[in-house]
Structure 1
Amino acid sequence: MFLDVSLAQVLHQFATIFAVVDPVGTVPVFIAVTAFIAHERRRAVALRAVLFAALVLIGFLVAGQPVLNAIGVNLTSFQIAGGIVLFLFALTMIFGPSKPDKELSQISMNDAEWAVYPLAIPSIASPGAMLAVVVLTDNDVYPLTAQLVTAAITIGVLAITLVLMLMAMPVQRLIGKAGASIVSRVMGLILAAVAVDNVINAIIVRFGL
């Protein structure tokens, strides 16, 4: 037990956040966005994208549940709805266009805000990732220390994303576009299982089964 969070919970949260952020799937997007800018500027673009994504995700982690409470939505209800949405999101990762294919098609090379769009949003801080960090933290169940662990896991996954972007060219040569697509679909399968688990657990809590 570390800070009121078991190793199993840490692994569960890491798997969920890693799946929805999909650091490997971000690599082809980063390569395309930075293809025509100087090599020394790519590091700044990657760092800015990760910092912006961190602000968005940590903001949802901190303020998500208080906002729900303010509008009278029970977290377990949100967790059930969120699990269903995450499951549908996972299905799009498995059966739909892969993350690289989908987001590369949205890129405008004349856009001065590469780091914000499409890198930070929606590639790193995707709607699924925003939803996941809210679902994974329950102020009525987990103490502040446990939520800090979730925040640390989120930052850790973002750090992995940053490292992969900084190593984008070698990684792209290693796995290729097809490899990134395969990894994205595997992450979708993992996310689908996690989403089902979230729904089942929320139903048990909600109805006292």
Structure 2
Amino acid sequence: MNFTLGNMLSISFTLFAVIDAMGSIPLFISIKRKSGGELDVKRIIFFSGLIMIAFLFLGSQILKMLGVDVKSFAVAGSIVLFLFGFEMISGHEVFKGDGDKRLGAIVPIAFPLIAGSATLTTIISFKAIYSELEILGGILINLIFAYLVLTSLKWFEKMLGPGGINAVRKFFGVILIAIAVKMFGENIDVFSASFNK
């Protein structure tokens, strides 16, 4: 696959919606307060990137060991994205965390808020469509954005307010559902091929 800027921007926007750093600002603020008012932002971003990049390059090998092809995983990923978008719009919790506060700010923010199950599913699903270089570029762009969000929590808290944050979250929920439908349609042929054998 050839690298194109358009593909990298498409990947970046999709990950932007999935990671939903804007929608997670209330959680970030709450965790920051529980951590004494300070977050080790660089370490959080480092671990988030480590998880996503490791899954980008090793995810396919893991799937092969399990006997699952990338397109099948992409279809499953599209379903996860749809449910995640539904969660963002409706406010009903679909994906539940373990709620363990003893692990500190790195674990709840780096994983699962930034590099969570939906993000990792999206990354491996992209490999059926895009090149690894394009996906890597999209990951790096989102890590930079997440860093900017985490270092600007006080500003966001003052400027957006609860209503603004909620509106942004619902908007990206709709976008995410549309992306999920598109991804499902582009990869569902794997089942059609198996039925026609």
User: Given that residues 4 and 134 in structure 2 are in contact (C-alpha distance below 8 angstroms), is that contact kept between their aligned partners in structure 1?
Assistant: no
Distance in 2 between residues matched to 1:4 and 1:83, nearest whole Å: 24
Contact kept in structure 1, 2:21 and 2:149, CA below 8 Å: yes
Provide the rounded CA distance (Å) in 1 between the counterparts of 2:30 and 2:100: 8
Q: Hey, what does 2:17 align to over in structure 1?
A: 19
One-letter amino acid of the structure 1 residue matched with residue 145 of structure 2: I
State the number of aligned residues: 191
Structure 1 residues 170 and 85, CA, compared in 2 at 3 Å: closer, same or farther? same
What displacement does 1:112 show?
Answer: 5.4
- Helix, strand or coil: the match of 1:35? helix
Aligned-CA RMSD value: 2.5
TM-score, normalisation: structure 1: 0.81
Whether 2:130 is the aligned partner of 1:135: answer no
**Percent of matched pairs sharing the same residue:** 29
Is contact 1:98–1:185 with CA below 8 Å preserved after alignment?
Answer: no
The whole-number CA distance in structure 2 between the counterparts of 1:27 and 1:170 is 11
Q: Could you tell me how far 1:200 is from its partner in structure 2?
A: 0.5
Pairwise CA distance, 1:11: 2.8
Normalising by the residue count of structure 2, what TM-score does the alignment of the two structures yield?
Answer: 0.85
Q: What's 1:119 paired with?
A: 109
1:166 aligns with 2:156: no
Q: Could you tell me how far 1:97 is from its partner in structure 2?
A: 4.4
Deviations 1:114-149 (A, max 9, x none): 122x211121112110100010113xx65xxx3122
Change (3 A) 1:168 1:72: same
Q: Equivalents in 2 of 1:187, 1:107: separation in Å? A: 27
Q: Secondary structure at 1:34's aligned position in 2?
A: helix
Alpha-carbon offset, residue 77 of structure 1 = 1.2
| Deviation sequence 1:162-181 (CA, Å, 0-9, x none) | 11110110111100122222
Q: Distance in 1 between matches of 2:75 and 2:34?
A: 44
Distance in 1 (alpha carbons) for counterparts of 2:134 and 2:180? 20
CA contact (8 A) 2:9 2:138 kept: no
Match of 1:202 among 148, 162, 187: 187
**Which one-letter code corresponds to 1:94 in the other structure?**
I
Of 119-128 and 89-98, deviating more is 89-98
1: distance between equivalents of 2:92 and 2:188?
Answer: 31
